Amino acid sequence: MVAPLLVAPLLLLFAIFFVVPFVEIMRISFSGQGGALAGATWLMSSSLFAVIFLNTLKLALTVTLICLGLGYPAACFIAGQPASQRGIYLALVLLPFWTSVLVRTYTWALVLGREGLLNASLIWLGLSDEPQRFMFTPLAVHLGMVQILLPVAILTLVGVMTELDPGLARAARVLGASPWRAFWHVYLPMTKPGIVAAAMLLFILSLGFYITPALLGGPRHRTIANLIDLQVHQMNDWTSASAMALVLLATTIVAVVLLRWLVPDRTLHGGAG
């Protein structure tokens, strides 16, 4: 009888702060002034939405891939350290993670700005005669998002990698695999669950990014989250905003299902055993 009570607070919290608003959003998106399909009609007809939606998907995908590409070797390195020293490296990864996203984003603005650190360095090094434009470019958005999300990638991957039996790579070596082939045929496939988990997390988080694109990308590099904000605060159009929120949710679900389908459960849970 106690067990159900243990999850009761969480269920209550979810009911109040997730289910209720979610139902409200559903209701709004299907009951605008233009009828039940007003939200859907707006989505279909808005070229702005189409462009921004595709850009958001592209951004989320590239940021996910860059984070995995940068995070995987770093995670390999950390997982390969003796347990006593792993904590130091994890702390180094966590340090920026504990810093507010807003602070980190503004810091990038300081670095990338016209009078920023990067421009100053380029001019001082003689690599550039005049300040280059970095702010409000895709580069700035990618840099900011990758820096913010990288710890998520590393922590997820390290978690899986430290669970691996190091004996497996040794077994591969003694049975005739070069270090590279032992990695390719044994280590990499065995870290697949970690890669999938990290990819899901990164993609879902990237899809909903708001502050970083808003501050570093400016009006020309908006994401869906920025557009939702725009519709609500500038246009006072809750119908289309809710419709977009639902599209975002649907995209997330599709992404998760797709990844699950690409990497079946069997491999996800077929750990060493």
Partner 1 sequence: MHPAFAPARTFSETIGAPISFQAIGKRYGGVPALHEFSLDIAAGEFVTFLGPSGSGKTTALNILAGFIEPSAGDVLIDGVSITRLPTEKRNVGMVFQSYSLFPHMDVRDNVAFPLRMRGVPKAERHARAEQALAMVRLAGYGDRKPQELSGGQRQRVACARAVVFEPRVLLMDEPLGALDLKLREAMQDEIREVQRRIGCTVIYVTHDQGEALTMSDRIVVMNEGRIEQIGTPAAIYDNPSNAFVAQFVGETNFLTAALARGRLTFAGVDAPAPARLPEGWRGRMALRPEHFTRVVAETGGAPTLSGRIDDIAFHGGSYRYVVETEKAGRVIVQEQRRHGSDGPVVGAPVTLKFSLERAAFLEG
If one asks whether residue 267 binds partner 1 (CB under 8 A), the answer comes out as yes
**Cα-flanking dihedrals φ and ψ of residue 35, to 5°?**
95, 180
Q: Which two tokens stand for residue 244?
A: 């977009």
Q: Which of 1, 176, 220, 261 binds partner 1 (CB under 8 A)?
A: 176
CA distance linking residue 217 with residue 207, whole number of Å: 15
Is 194:159 a contact under the CB 8 Å cutoff? Answer: yes
228, containing H or E segment: helix 224-233
- Say if residue 161 is exposed, middle or buried (CB neighbours under 10 Å; 0-12, 13-18, 19+): buried
Asked if 271 touches partner 1 (CB under 8 A), the answer is yes
Q: Using CB under 8 A, pick the residue from 16, 50, 171, 257 that binds partner 1.
A: 171
Of positions 177, 197, 201, 249, contacts partner 1 by CB under 8 A: 177
Task: Give the nearer residue to partner 1 in terms of CB position, either 104 or 192.
Answer: 192
The residue among 168, 204, 213, 190 whose CA lies nearest residue 72 is: 190
CB of 181 to partner 1, least distance (A): 6
Residue with Cβ nearer partner 1 (1 or 272)? 272
Helix, strand or coil, per DSSP, at residue 35: strand
Tell me: does residue 260 bind partner 1 (CB under 8 A).
Answer: no
Q: Could you tell me how many residues of this chain bind partner 1 (CB under 8 A)?
A: 24
Strand partners of residue 32: 35
82 binds partner 1 per the rule CB under 8 A: no
Q: Which of residues 180-199 bind partner 1 (CB under 8 A)?
A: 181-182, 185-186, 189-190, 192
Q: Which is nearer to partner 1, 96 or 159 (CB)?
A: 159
Conformational region of residue 161, where left means phi above 0, alpha means psi within -120 to 50, and beta covers everything else: alpha
Closest contact distance (angstroms) between CB of 45 and partner 1 is 48
Site of interaction with partner 1 (CB under 8 A): 165, 167-168, 170-178, 181-182, 185-186, 189-190, 192, 267, 270-273
